[in-house]
Amino acid sequence: MPSRPVVSCLIPAYNHERYVAEAVESVLAGPSDIEVVVVDDASTDATYERLLPYADRVTLLRNPANVGHVRTLQRAYEAAHGDYLTLLASDDRWLPDRMPSQLDEMTRTGAEWSFGQAYVIDGAGHRISAVAQGPAPDSGPAGALRTLLAGQGVYAPTLLFRRELLERAGGLQDLFLEDLAITLRFAALAEPLFLSRPLVDYRMHEGQMHLAMVQSRSHLSSHAAAVQHLASWPGLPAVHRSMVDEHVAAWAYLAGVAGGEGGAAPTGAATNAVVVRQAPELGRDLTRSQMRQLRQELRASGHREAAAAVRSATPPSRLRGASRGLARRLRQ
């Protein structure tokens, strides 16, 4: 009888005929005891046909109808058996030395979850930058939670976590923006192990969900909703309640500015932390006049550091032009 796998890699797949085989191959090239569970979400291209040659090496499932990313991920989770879980989009790929070193370091330190850096690649697999992306979270008590609440993301394919932690966090059933919602809950429950090295190639290309968010003006409202989702979670430890509530107010204020509302900026330290961390990207969500309004309201509320960060931020027209330039490059 086969032994229970230690690590299960969950791959939800949809319309990635060009990339899905490369994603699966990158995991199968690692240790042989990793369980791979792939669920095709009723792709309309040849994604499922690209997966059929791996049917004897992975658990391959197919949804009879398209149900969306989170429900597809939930089905993969229900079919997996590992004590540790990791997620991989069907257009990304593991780097060759990712496993078993990430698991070994978690076992050695006793960490319940970990994440690391990523190389960002384009549709052809070329690195957009030679420098690995993904800064370390803040140090100190609840450092990771503070960092994530302020808007720093985690490259989801680098996550490795204990199944038991996911269950304590409520599972996948009611989570949206799954990587952000999951990592916020994880950080509220346990400090992570951060690995300051690249673990995956994270692909950005036309049609990719993250690129669509970058090009749209949904960044602030999406983060505001995710932080509010954490605040409404019954399992949130009481010790973090005031910090989370402060960040809810800060994100709601920024989303309000983006929506054309005005008013005094919240006075808590969270507003300064969120604005300073988000300043380089604010031009994607705010117009020039909204940036001016934000700077004035921050200064009036005593957030001089945040006001200065907004003043030095890239103007909206230039930032959106850079986004369009990136999109053109990814189409090539």
Q: Are 57 and 87 found together in one domain?
A: yes
- Tell me the per-residue pLDDT of 285-297, one tens digit each, with 9 for 90 and over: 889 999 999 999 9
Taking 70 as the threshold, does the pLDDT of residue 216 lie above it?
Answer: no
Q: Indicate if the pLDDT at residue 142 is higher than 50.
A: yes
251 and 161 within one domain: no
Q: In 63-139, which ranges are continuous DSSP H helix?
A: 69-79, 101-109
Rg, Å, the chain Cα set = 20
Location of structure tokens 């957030």? 303
Residues 183 and 254 in one domain: no
**Residue 55 located in a structural domain:** yes
Quick one: which of 20, 164, 158 has its CA closest to 82? 164
Contact between 90 and 11 under an 8 Å Cβ cutoff? The reply is yes
Please check whether residues 40 and 106 belong to one and the same domain. Answer: yes
Q: In terms of domains, do 38 and 183 share one?
A: yes
The pLDDT of residue 174 is above 60: no
Q: Quick one: pLDDT band at residue 262, thresholds 50, 70, 90? A: confident
Give domain status of residue 2, yes or no.
no
Does residue 125 share a domain with residue 99? yes
CATH number, residue 15: 3.90.550.10
The count of structural domains within the chain is: 2
Residue 3 has what pLDDT? 63
Taking 90 as the threshold, does the pLDDT of residue 137 lie above it? yes
What pLDDT, on a 0 to 100 scale, did the predictor assign at position 284?
Answer: 79
Judge whether 107 lies within some domain: yes
Asked if 141 and 264 sit in the same domain, the reply is no
Give pLDDT tens digits for 145-169: 999 999 998 999 999 999 999 999 9
Query: Token pair 């890239």 is at which residue?
Result: 314
pLDDT number for residue 220: 82
In a domain, 57, yes or no: yes
State the pTM of this model.
0.89
The mean pLDDT of 292-312, rounded to a whole number, is 95
Which distant-in-sequence residues (6+ apart) come within 8 Å of 55 by Cβ?
Answer: none
Highest mean pLDDT among 178-192, 231-245, 285-299: 231-245
Tell me: do 41 and 162 sit in the same domain.
Answer: yes
Summary mean pLDDT of the chain: 89
Judge if 200 and 224 occupy the same domain: no
Q: Which of 143, 170, 205 lies at the terminal end of a domain, its last residue? A: 205
Identity of the residue numbered 220: L
- Residue 44 clears pLDDT 60, i.e. is over it: yes
Picking from 173, 205, 237, the residue at the C-terminal end of a domain is: 205
What integer pLDDT is reported at residue 70 of this predicted model?
85
What pLDDT is recorded for position 162?
97
Sequence-distant (6+) residues with CB within 8 A of 97 are none
For residues 220 and 24, what is the distance between their CA atoms, to the nearest angstrom?
33
Q: Which token pair is 158?
A: 């680098």
Task: Please give the residue range of the domain that contains residue 15.
Answer: 7-205
Residues 165 and 227 in one domain: no
Q: Which of 176, 205, 234 is the last residue of a domain?
A: 205
% of residues, the chain, pLDDT over 90:
74
pLDDT of residue 328: 45
Question: How far apart, in whole angstroms, are the C-alpha atoms of residue 36 and residue 190?
Answer: 26
pLDDT bin (cut points 50, 70, 90) of residue 2 is: low
225 and 311 part of one domain: yes
Of 200-214, 219-233, 243-257, the least confident:
200-214
DSSP secondary structure letter of residue 127: B
Mean pLDDT in residue range 100-112: 96
210 within a domain of the structure (yes/no): no
Question: 148 in a domain, yes or no?
Answer: yes
Classify residue 29: in a domain, yes or no: yes
* 44 and 154 housed in the same domain: yes
Any domain includes 1:
no
Indicate the SS3 state at residue 84.
strand
Contacts for 241 with CB less than 8 Å, ≥ 6 apart: none
pLDDT at residue 28 greater than cutoff 90 = yes
